[in-house]
Structure 1
Amino acid sequence: MISKIKLKNIILSSVLVVLAGCSSAPEDEDVDLVLRSKSAQSLYEDAKEKMRLGNFNAATETLSALDSRFPFGPLSHQVQLDLIYGYYKTGKTDEALATIDRFTRLNPNHSDVDYAIYMRGLTNMEVDSNLFQELVGIDRSDRDPSNSRQAFNDFRRLIEKYPNSKYAADAQKRMLHIKSRLAKYEISIARYYMRRDAYVAAANRGRYVIEHYPDTTHVQEALEIMVECYDQLQLDELKNNAMKTLKLNYPNSSFIS
């Protein structure tokens, strides 16, 4: 048989649960009512003010609601462009990429489509970065660089289609940074193969860096890896060719006896 104290506690808990449910519902209704009571222009001005103050989470909520309510209104294009930036700033990369792709697909001739493509590159770069690891000095150059490759393609697309875009110069700089990231990844994988005595695979990674990323700072490492791997494989001609290139371009290399 349930004691009076236990019964009282059960009843009290039930009442609190009901009250909690009731208290949240009107609040949600109030927010929706506020959104419905304002014009598109008023909502947009609210969102812009929130962005100006750095409150990107609140801004994207308002912009998203505005985009849903007025998908084809006079403000729709600007709302979507601001929403892209808001998603980027709040780290909502999937939402940002989806909004970018929708905008570029539906508005291929819009005057700001170059901005959308540029933001696609930035968003893909952001996916590949890890601020915490950079802060504590952890080298994770061996992580999958697929997003960096996609960002590189985004920036290349921007430069090829809109060479006079005001974002083209920055996109070019970012492409150089990405190439360095990709080259570093190849070097990391090459060293992984070397630790497992897979010298052919390691040498191929080194050659790949030289062929595809010759304007990065990782060419010297690639040549040194090739020299060492060809030495282990007793491929003297290939080793000598790699050593000759190393001596010519990096005479201070420790691999040069």
Structure 2
Amino acid sequence: MNEARSVGMLKAARIMLVSVALVGTGALVTGCQTDPDIDITKLGVETDPPETLYNQGLANLRAGNINEAGRKFDAIDRQHPFSEWARKALVMSTFTKYRQGKYDDAITAGTRYMNQYGRTPDAAYVQYLIGLSYSKQIVDVTQDQRAAARTIEAMLKVVNDYPDSEYVEDAQAKIRFARDQLAGKEMQIGRYYLERKEYLAAISRFRTVVEQFPTTNQVEEALARLVEAYYAMGIVPEAQTAAAVLGHNYPDSQWYADSYKLLQSGGVQPRENSGSWISRAGKLFGAGT
């Protein structure tokens, strides 16, 4: 297989990965089989020239033999370090580790690639793989959200460093999801404190959501919870401001209806104090964000 064909197959693998990420399918190639994972090259030799190993890796990859493909690419990396074939193999090794669900290994391989070859044309793709590997490890908001924070960091590099790449749109989608997870975690903790009547601790968490995650879908509830917490503490002007900002941005929200009802039960209505931190934060978002 000549050099032009190898480059073409590498590009095809990148395109297929984007399709996998966007549509949520698990297939690399239509109809590929991964069980049993048999080396279709049938040579069993990993001391061949790097070009031969690379092409064997691509052949196994096309056949759906992910494990065998990974072995070929890793062999190149071990036996021919710092060569052009090793660089290309490290791209594909990062990809195969991601496809195998070995996300930490994919991140390690991808990070090494970025440190060594961060200015190459494949760098955007590898950085995207790193972000995908973090995003696959995001868990329910009841658990630690470290992976969500790292997803944002990795995908922001895709967006900022490679703004013209084909991966930007999906990177932005992954960032939005991860930010919503972080906001959701803050809300979970805030609700816990609110239920225990630890109002200052609860307000601190809800404030984080309003100020740091103003475009997430958690903002409506965060404002409503601020109304509840401030009102319970007797800090009525802040409760009124939170309700006013909520009503201005989300007038049809059930959260606003509940907040309005709470204030009305005490004989007051939403009224914005422009000097409040809530009013200043409210300028960062609007209806539909």
Q: Above 0.5 in TM-score?
A: yes
How far, CA to CA, are the matches of 1:121 and 1:80 in structure 2? 16
CA contact under 8 A between 2:141 and 2:181: conserved in structure 1? yes
- Runs of 4+ aligned residues of structure 1 deviating over 6 Å after TM superposition are none
**Fraction of identical pairs, as percent:** 28
Q: What code does the residue aligned with 1:77 have?
A: R
- Aligned position for 2:236: 236
Is 2:38 the counterpart of 1:34? no
How far, CA to CA, are the matches of 2:68 and 2:233 in structure 1? 61
How far, CA to CA, are the matches of 2:174 and 2:103 in structure 1? 18
- Aligned position for 1:174: 174
- Aligned position for 2:204: 204
Q: What code does the residue aligned with 1:224 have?
A: A
- Aligned position for 2:259: 255
How far, CA to CA, are the matches of 2:109 and 2:241 in structure 1? 50
Displacement of 1:32 after TM fit?
Answer: 9.9
- Aligned position for 1:82: 92
How far, CA to CA, are the matches of 2:141 and 2:149 in structure 1? 14
Greater CA drift, 84-93 or 68-77: 68-77
**1:64-122 deviation per Cα after TM superposition (whole angstroms, max 9, x unaligned):** 12211112333111100000011111121222111111111111221111112111111
Q: What code does the residue aligned with 2:114 have?
A: T
- Aligned position for 1:161: 161
CA contact under 8 A between 2:137 and 2:147: conserved in structure 1? yes
Change (3 A) 1:189 1:54: farther
How far, CA to CA, are the matches of 1:160 and 1:85 in structure 2? 22
How far, CA to CA, are the matches of 1:51 and 1:231 in structure 2? 61
Secondary structure in structure 2 of the residue aligned to 1:150:
helix
How far, CA to CA, are the matches of 1:67 and 1:246 in structure 2? 56
- Aligned position for 1:112: 122
How far, CA to CA, are the matches of 1:167 and 1:176 in structure 2? 15
Q: Which has the larger share of helix? A: 1
How far, CA to CA, are the matches of 2:260 and 2:250 in structure 1? 9
Secondary structure in structure 1 of the residue aligned to 2:144:
coil
Greater CA drift, 242-251 or 179-188: 242-251
- Aligned position for 1:191: 191
Change (3 A) 1:108 1:229: same
Displacement of 1:33 after TM fit?
Answer: 6.4
How far, CA to CA, are the matches of 1:61 and 1:152 in structure 2? 30
Is 2:227 the counterpart of 1:216? no
CA contact under 8 A between 2:104 and 2:133: conserved in structure 1? no
Secondary structure in structure 1 of the residue aligned to 2:61:
helix
Secondary structure in structure 1 of the residue aligned to 2:194:
helix
Q: Which has the larger radius of gyration?
A: 1
- Give the TM-score normalised by structure 2: 0.70
CA contact under 8 A between 2:135 and 2:174: conserved in structure 1? no
- Give the TM-score normalised by structure 1: 0.78
How far, CA to CA, are the matches of 1:186 and 1:204 in structure 2? 9
Displacement of 1:221 after TM fit?
Answer: 0.7
Is 2:34 the counterpart of 1:63? no
Unaligned runs of 5+ in 1: 1-30, 130-139
- Aligned position for 1:48: 58
Secondary structure in structure 1 of the residue aligned to 2:137:
helix
Displacement of 1:34 after TM fit?
Answer: 2.0
Greater CA drift, 244-253 or 170-179: 244-253
Give the aligned CA root-mean-square deviation in angstroms: 1.9
Q: What code does the residue aligned with 2:175 have?
A: M
